[in-house]
Amino acid sequence: MAEFTPQPSCADPEDKNRLSIDAARQRIAKLVPTLTAWHHCPLRDALDRVLHQDIVSPMNVPAHNNSAMDGYAIRSSDINSDNFSLKQVGTAFAGHPFKGKVDTGECIRIMTGAVLPDDCDTIIMQEQVESNDNVITIHGKHRQGQHVRYAGEDIKTGATVLGAGRRLMPVDLGLIASLGIGEVNVKRRLRVAFFSTGDELKSIGETLEAGDIYDSNRYTLYGMLKRLGIDMLDMGVIPDQKAPLRQALLEASEHADVIITTGGVSVGDADYVKELLAELGQVDFWKIAMKPGRPLAFGQINQALFFGLPGNPVSVMVTFYQFVTPALRKLMGEATPPNTTQQVICTDAIRKRPGRFEYQRGILFEDEQGQTKVKITGEQGSGILRSMSMANCFILLEEQCDGVAANTVVNVQPFSGLI
Ligand code: AMP
Ligand code: MG
């Protein structure tokens, strides 16, 4: 992994120099390398994996000129009026070409996908033909080359059909298969180790004492990492104590490319976590001008990248999607996906103070006229995971925005655009 150079920290107590989201992203992007390891894998196993090399077509698609319709293959030089007759001398089925000769005044019956004989250049749809004792009468106007699919029309031999860095989708598997390719080169899987910190956290199955809560962050993290096709090491809940935390971080750094922790990076707990991280690696504590998800720790422990996310469940998801996902994608060599934000009318008024970027949880819906609009999910506290569950998008409110009046246009990021 590339040498990590620490960046100036923004953990100043006055919050004067809080990092903008873009600046934080840029700093992260600068420090995250791209892994070069890759391996060969059978096509089916390549679903959701990142391509290491371009897929170049070894053949024309379609391979032969063929018919786009059920009908008759003719020689266009035989078209002499709106009503003419030809002799049918054979039939071509998909997978069973007609091997004979088609002379002037002759035609063959041809099915969709069947190879077009070299002698023919035009297809007549069967609906425009009357057939009687191997003689067909053709009605209407016809154009040379109609209903013919030409060899190489979709893909020419040597064309790049998918670029390196592409995360393979179901359609890609089909496309690659259509070229007769059964194995591809993909980037190696990333390994991410994660754990939760907090003395109040209990795992499912344990009894909750007063003040305890169930650890939900490890489950959302599991889901988000799984979607990215990442191998995971779930290290459970680590108490807020130096020795177990040190041990967990060291163990994680031995086994993973990336370590993600949640909790323990806000002002209340940061001091000694900071001390520990300074001892083990190079980690900066950033205050980001955003809500939710203000505190974020980022750096390196041994050879592993480290993300210390805040503890609040919504903050975890927001900071993961905004900072960790792009970093993981870069690490695994994935090309940057297109921006999926869109502008829609927000039917609710939203109160907001300028000075920080807000990710409000929104619900995209269709009004009675069929127009897509957005409303907020209600309470927006960063501990309210249900606000994420009810939502299907983030409403993006820029740093300088000082509130939104009802029925004005806002930017939204649909969850479907996030993995
Ligand atoms: P912290 O960042 O550690 O101060 O935690 C902020 C808030 O998030 C506190 O209310 C914690 O109880 C809560 N929290 C921290 N970690 C988790 C977790 N793994 N699952 C659910 N809630 C958490
Ligand atoms: Mg805590």
Q: How far apart are CA 43 and CA 181, in angstroms?
A: 8
**pLDDT of amino acid 14:** 43
CB 216 less than 6 A from any atom of ligand 1: yes
Q: How far is the CA of 220 from the centre of ligand 1 (A)?
A: 13
Assess contact for 176 and 184: CB atoms under 8 A: yes
Q: Residue by residue, what is the 3-state secondary structure of 179-223? A: CCCCEEEEECCCEEEEEEECCCEECCCCCCCCCCEECCHHHHHHH
Nearest protein CA to atom 3 of ligand 1, as residue: 263
Nearest protein CA to atom 20 of ligand 1, as residue: 215
292: left (phi over 0), alpha (psi -120 to 50) or beta: beta
Please, what's the b/e burial string for 174-199 (b: 16 or more CB within 10 A of its CB; e: otherwise)?
ebbeebebeebbbbbbbebbbbbbbe
Q: How far apart are CA 174 and CA 130, in angstroms?
A: 38
Please, what's the b/e burial string for 200-222 (b: 16 or more CB within 10 A of its CB; e: otherwise)?
bbeeeeeeeeeeeeebebbebbe
CB 213 less than 6 A from any atom of ligand 1: yes
Indicate the pairing of strand 304-309 with strand 258-262. parallel
CB 313 less than 6 A from any atom of ligand 1: yes
Nearest protein CA to atom 8 of ligand 1, as residue: 312
Q: How far apart are CA 274 and CA 260, in angstroms?
A: 15
Backbone torsions φ then ψ of 367, nearest 5 degrees: -80, -175
Nearest protein CA to atom 7 of ligand 1, as residue: 312
**pLDDT of amino acid 270:** 61
> For residue 330, what are its two tokens?
């870069």
Q: Residue 97: how many CB atoms within 10 A of its CB? A: 17
Assess contact for 306 and 277: CB atoms under 8 A: yes
Ligand 1 nearest atom to the CA of residue 237, by list position: 19
- From the CA of 308, which ligand is nearest? 1
**pLDDT of amino acid 338:** 87
**pLDDT of amino acid 15:** 60
**pLDDT of amino acid 3:** 46
What the chain holds in terms of domains, given with CATH numbers, is: 21-37+189-331 (3.40.980.10), 38-61+153-187 (3.90.105.10), 66-149 (2.170.190.11), 342-417 (2.40.340.10)
CB 292 less than 6 A from any atom of ligand 1: no
Ligand 1 nearest atom to the CA of residue 262, by list position: 16
Give which of 187, 238, 194 is closest to 40, Cα–Cα.
Answer: 187
Q: Do you find a cis peptide bond into 8, omega within 30 degrees of 0?
A: no
**pLDDT of amino acid 9:** 46
Q: What burial class does residue 16 get, using C-beta atoms within 10 Å of its C-beta: 0-12 exposed, 13-18 middle, 19+ buried?
A: exposed
DSSP 270-313: HHHHHHHHHHHEEEEEEEBSEES--EEEEEEETTEEEEEE-SSH
Q: How far is the CA of 29 from the centre of ligand 2 (A)?
A: 27
Q: Residue 233: how many CB atoms within 10 A of its CB? A: 14
Indicate the pairing of strand 295-301 with strand 281-287. antiparallel
Q: How far apart are CA 28 and CA 270, in angstroms?
A: 20
Assess contact for 216 and 203: CB atoms under 8 A: no
**pLDDT of amino acid 53:** 97
Nearest protein CA to atom 6 of ligand 1, as residue: 311
Going residue by residue through the chain (419 aa), what tens digit of pLDDT does each one get?
A: 444 444 444 444 446 679 999 999 999 999 999 999 999 999 999 999 999 999 999 999 999 999 999 999 999 999 999 999 999 999 999 999 999 999 999 999 999 999 999 999 999 999 999 999 999 999 999 999 999 999 999 999 999 999 999 999 999 999 999 999 999 999 999 999 999 999 999 999 999 999 999 999 999 999 999 999 999 999 999 998 999 999 999 999 999 999 999 998 877 766 677 888 889 999 998 999 999 988 999 999 999 999 999 999 999 999 999 999 999 999 999 998 888 999 999 999 999 999 999 999 999 999 999 999 999 999 999 999 999 999 999 999 999 999 999 999 999 999 998 87
Q: Which residues on neighbouring strands pair with residue 350, listed in sequence order?
A: 404
**pLDDT of amino acid 275:** 83
Q: How far apart are CA 307 and CA 300, in angstroms?
A: 8
**pLDDT of amino acid 11:** 43
> For residue 230, what are its two tokens?
């990442």
Nearest protein CA to atom 15 of ligand 1, as residue: 311
Assess contact for 39 and 186: CB atoms under 8 A: yes
CB 200 less than 6 A from any atom of ligand 1: yes
Residue with tokens 């009687």: 132
The Cα diameter of the chain in Å comes to 94
**What is the pTM for the complete model shown?**
0.88
- From the CA of 314, which ligand is nearest? 1
Indicate the pairing of strand 342-346 with strand 408-414. antiparallel
CB 295 less than 6 A from any atom of ligand 1: no
**pLDDT of amino acid 269:** 63
CB 293 less than 6 A from any atom of ligand 1: no
Q: How far is the CA of 17 from the centre of ligand 1 (A)?
A: 25
Ligand 1 pocket mutation, candidates 201, 208, 285, criterion most atoms within 8 A of CB: 201
CB 319 less than 6 A from any atom of ligand 1: no
